[in-house]
Structure 1
Amino acid sequence: MITNQKLFMKTKAKLANKDRYQRMVGKLIYLSHTRPDIAYAVGVVSQFMHQPQAHACSSKNCQISKGNHRSWRYFSLVGGNLVTWKSKKQKVVSLSSVEAEFRGIAKGLAEALWIRKLVSEIRFPPKESIRIMSDNKAAIQISENPVQHDRTKHVEVGRHFIKEKLEAGIIKLPFVKSKDQLVDILTKAVGMVILHKCLNKLNFGDPTIQLEGEC
């Protein structure tokens, strides 16, 4: 997708074939279960399934208000291999980007603990702490600081949950620069250079290459 492009419904525009559009998007949704590189684009086109128009409209002058409903997302890697990922709009209203990021850390931690338990059950217990990478220093500081903070009053349960795992040495919260944050490809359109850089770090390879023997 074009970076920073805004799509919107145009008044009285010619409608597209709704059934065909929904079938195509449905197939893309199924495909995105194994293709995180198209997850964001599929999420965008899914928003127009109720009334697809013949031409997707974009405008640099059109600004759609998203309100305070933010999304949380994460990638889970084991031994450098991508095993699970998720991107979802929050069901509750976040009052700041810090709060949204904090909720993302809590969700990612829950997933990481489940994977940790799973690999332990098959006799591959982790030898190191789980690293939860975040590009929000404020969210990391809130997680590590037991002192009550104004921005934590809506996420107190998650804050204590994260703090408990930090103190037990089960997890670490290293800071990662925004330009190196892999999960951005799940929530916004990025340039091809950044996209391929992220996919390489995820050991994803070229998804368009068909291996010998595959059908």
Structure 2
Amino acid sequence: MGNDEKTIKEVKIHLHKNFSIKDLRPLKYLIGIEVARSPGGFVISQRKYTLDILEDCGMQRCRPSKFPMEQNLCLTKDDDSKEVDAAKYRRLVGRLLYLTVPRPDIAYSVNQLSQFLNCPRQVHMDVVHRVIRYLKTTPGRGLFFPSSGNLNLIAYCDASWFSFPTTKRSNIGYYISLGGAPVSWRTKKQSIVSRSSAEAEYRAMATTVCEVLWIRWLLEDFDYKKDYATPLMCDNEAAKHIAENSVYHERTKHVEMDCYFVRERVTSGEIKPCKIKSKLQPADIFTKALGTYQFRFLRDKLGVRNLHSPT
């Protein structure tokens, strides 16, 4: 990786002399991921892989869906619907998991479906089919990485309190962009039960800070040291206040270790907690099922583009 063509060629020649390698030239297709380049940047997508899923399921002519999961839908294990073929369900969810590499817009839905691999029911299979119907609308959609712009690192974090009714655990999500391009995102069920929404949000903040620090260290390895704090956008005022105020105790006694960790990074100038409106929070798409308008709005903020849409 580099911006010096002469040095890159010298490295290739050196490697070729010592190892048996094959130069595949500019990347176009690799392990199911397609790369399309343009003067404005490049897009990675899995169009062929998506079409293969539709063909294998016999859903080429199915009715498309505008969003992958019904708003406010709550999936549980104790559902009264009939059991389905577990092997088929696992195979479909596994294929969708790989598809989340260039498709963060389906990450939350697939994460929810992954909770029921042991004993899937018909209601869970119906959601799988809905995700596939959503993919049919734009099989060529993928992530856009611009070729120009700054290298500003911005992080967003969010949590959905008590989003898993069976275990009473919360769901956390974060999204990190570099120069306006997505570089890291995640949706995850918290490992313990949070006693308040502020605690759930703060634990999401601590998880995001860990990822931000790793990316900052990685950029330093590329000889790009960031001398300013990385903005951490959070829509919970209480969590932001806890991160900045070392004597705010009433909501921190259950998250003491996370408090010290985040505050230390805020004090060192590596992280700067910032407030963002909930409607503008892109990490919201990783913590709950949204309606059509809000889902599309946040999906576009993630940098997900349709490569084959008319210009």
TM beyond 0.5? yes
Q: Is the 8 A contact 1:68 1:95 kept in 2?
A: no
Show structure 2 runs of 5+ residues with no match.
1-68, 128-163
Structure with a larger share of its residues in strand? 2
CA distance in 2 between partners of 1:47 and 1:170 (Å): 35
CA distance in 1 between partners of 2:113 and 2:85 (Å): 14
Distance change >3 Å, CA 164–CA 6, structure 1 → 2: closer
Aligned residue-pair number: 203
Give 1:200's aligned amino acid. D
Q: 1:69 aligns with which of 166, 169, 172?
A: 169
The percent of aligned pairs where both chains have the same amino acid is 38
Between the aligned partners of 1:150 and 1:203, the Cα distance in structure 2 is: 39
Query: Match for residue 188 of structure 1?
Result: 288
Q: Relative contact order (alpha carbons < 8 A, sep ≥ 6): 1 or 2 greater?
A: 1
1:172-211 alignment runs, 5 A limit: 172-206=272-306, 209=307
Aligned partner (choices 214, 217, 231) of residue 114 of structure 1 = 214
TM-score (norm 1): 0.85
1:35 paired with 2:135, answer no
Q: Distance in 2 between matches of 1:111 and 1:10?
A: 36
Greater Cα shift, 89-98 or 163-172: 163-172
- Return the letter of the residue paired with 1:44: Q
Per the alignment, in what secondary structure is the counterpart of residue 109 of structure 2? helix
**Structure 1 gap segments, 5+ residues each:** 59-63
CA–CA separation in structure 2 for the residues paired with 1:114 and 1:156: 22
CA RMSD of aligned residues (A): 2.2
Give runs of aligned pairs for residues 1-215 of structure 1, distance below 5 A: 1-8=69-76, 9-11=78-80, 13-55=81-123, 65-206=165-306, 209=307
What SS class does the counterpart of residue 305 from structure 2 fall into? coil
C-alpha change, 1:42 and 1:123, in structure 2 (3 Å) is same
**Aligned equivalents of 1:180, 1:44: Cα separation in 2:** 23
| Structure of higher CA gyration radius | 2
Does the CA contact (< 8 Å) of 1:134 and 1:174 recur in 2?
A: yes
- 1:110-165 CA distances to partner (integer Å, 9 max, x unpaired)? 11011001111111222432011100000111111111412111222221222222
Name the amino acid aligned to 1:155.
Answer: V
TM-score scaled by length of structure 2: 0.60
